């Protein structure tokens, strides 16, 4: 029994050991760096802050885990220890290793101090590295823009992102990140747009001119509405197969001195519609059920050609107005 327990315990422990070994990766080929750091504000709201720039986590051979699993970017206060924010590299090209762009966005409520020498720390994830290390970089005062309007900051962000995208395009020659358009240089779709949307959440609101606006012809044409189809239903009872219907209704209408549609409206459609509404109001204390029946009845009578187009349209419009009042304005 003891041997069986030992064997079972071994089977439980061995996968954990091998799993840990499989996750461990080697250190980068050289120390990771950040460059071209910029800080903009007033992009979405007054006193929000976006810190962004290029990074390089050099690996000649891409590890078996993504950079978002292996590295963490942290923004630290000027004391070098208080963490203000943390993000992971966006893994698209080379699993997020080598060249890339990072960003930290803070709404106005965070209340960052403008012009401060905050730290950007690139840390190795302890669950991936055997001996994790980190490296710090100070945001220089020159990274902070002097622009104080939303328009100028969004314009500056657009220019900086186009520059960063161009640098990525020069490095990742198999990808296109920018392209020309009638409105200027924009991000390509899907590569450029996908990458920078992943790096800077909400970038389309911060720099809308980065994205191409296309005006497309839907091919729709103006439609002239007529009563042709309605008239065809009205006239079909005059055919040979239905002569008796036409004759009987016509004779009845002649006897009353009115037209056939008017006769059928007064004798059939109107009484049934009014009656259904009255019954619904008495039995259910609501008229909606009666209106549903009436709408079906009106459609049927219209298909039979036994109600004038004008009366059909007017009744339907009246019922629609009443139901709209019941649903949206009635307090009963």
Judge whether 258 lies within some domain.
Answer: yes
Judge whether 15 lies within some domain.
Answer: no
Residues 243 and 289 in one domain: yes
The confidence score (pLDDT) of residue 22 equals 47
Residues 101 and 199 in one domain: yes
Residues 47 and 191 in one domain: yes
The confidence score (pLDDT) of residue 223 equals 78
List the one residue out of 254, 273, 274 whose CA is nearest residue 263. Answer: 254
The pair of three-digit structure tokens given for residue 71, joined into one six-digit string = 């590295």
Residues 101 and 194 in one domain: yes
Judge whether 140 lies within some domain.
Answer: yes
The confidence score (pLDDT) of residue 25 equals 93
Regions in the chain scoring below 50 on pLDDT:
1, 4, 8, 14-15, 17-22, 240
d(CA 120, CA 71): 13
Kindly list the distances between the CA atom of residue 330 and the CA atoms of 19, 279, 304, in Å, as whole numbers in the listed order: 65, 21, 35
Judge whether 3 lies within some domain.
Answer: no
Last residue of a domain, one of 183, 210, 237: 210
- 313 in helix, strand or coil? helix
Question: Are residues 249 and 242 in contact, defined by beta-carbon separation less than 8 angstroms?
Answer: no
Output helix, strand, coil percentages for the chain, rounded to the nearest 5: 50, 20, 35
CA atoms within a 13 Å half-sphere pointing along the CA-CB vector of 56: 14
Backbone phi, psi, residue 28, to 5°: -60, 160
Residues 184 and 239 in one domain: no
Judge whether 67 lies within some domain.
Answer: yes
Residues 261 and 190 in one domain: no
d(CA 58, CA 28): 6
Last residue of a domain, one of 153, 184, 210: 210
CA-angle at 216, arms to 213 and 220, nearest 5°: 150
List the one residue out of 260, 291, 286 whose CA is nearest residue 274. Answer: 291
User: What's the number of domains the chain is made of?
Assistant: 2
Residues 132 and 180 in one domain: yes
Domain that holds residue 302: 228-328
**For residue 132, is the peptide bond before it cis, meaning its omega torsion is within 30 degrees of 0?**
no
Judge whether 272 lies within some domain.
Answer: yes
């Amino acid at each position: 029994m003891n041997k069986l327990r030992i064997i079972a315990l071994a089977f439980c422990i061995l996968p954990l050991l091998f799993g840990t070994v499989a996750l461990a990766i080697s250190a980068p080929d050289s120390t990771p760096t950040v460059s071209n750091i910029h800080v903009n504000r007033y992009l979405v709201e007054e006193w929000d802050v976006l810190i962004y720039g290029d990074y390089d986590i050099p690996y000649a051979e891409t590890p078996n885990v993504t950079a978002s699993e292996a590295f963490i970017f942290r923004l630290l206060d000027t004391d070098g220890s208080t963490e203000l924010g943390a993000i992971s590299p966006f893994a698209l090209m080379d699993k997020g290793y080598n060249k890339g762009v990072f960003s930290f966005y803070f709404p106005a409520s965070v209340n960052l101090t403008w012009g401060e020498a905050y730290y950007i720390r690139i840390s190795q994830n302890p669950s991936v590295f055997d001996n994790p290390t980190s490296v710090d970089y100070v945001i220089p005062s020159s990274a902070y823009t002097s622009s104080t309007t939303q328009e100028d900051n969004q314009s500056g962000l657009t220019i900086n992102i186009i520059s960063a995208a161009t640098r990525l395009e020069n490095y990742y020659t198999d990808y296109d990140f920018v392209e020309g358009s009638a409105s200027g240089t924009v991000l390509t779709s899907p590569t450029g747009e996908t990458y920078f949307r992943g790096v800077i959440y909400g970038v389309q609101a911060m720099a809308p001119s980065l994205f191409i606006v296309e005006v497309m012809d839907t091919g729709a044409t103006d439609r002239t509405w007529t009563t042709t189809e309605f008239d065809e239903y009205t006239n079909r009872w005059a055919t040979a197969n239905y002569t008796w219907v036409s004759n009987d209704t016509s004779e009845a209408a002649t006897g009353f001195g009115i037209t056939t549609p008017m006769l059928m409206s007064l004798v059939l459609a109107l009484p049934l519609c009014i009656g259904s509404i009255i019954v619904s109001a008495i039995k259910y204390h609501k008229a909606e059920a009666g209106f549903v029946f009436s709408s079906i009845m009106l459609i049927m009578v219209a298909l039979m050609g036994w109600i004038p187009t004008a009366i059909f349209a007017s009744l339907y419009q009246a019922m629609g107005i009443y139901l709209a009042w019941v649903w949206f304005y009635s307090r009963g």
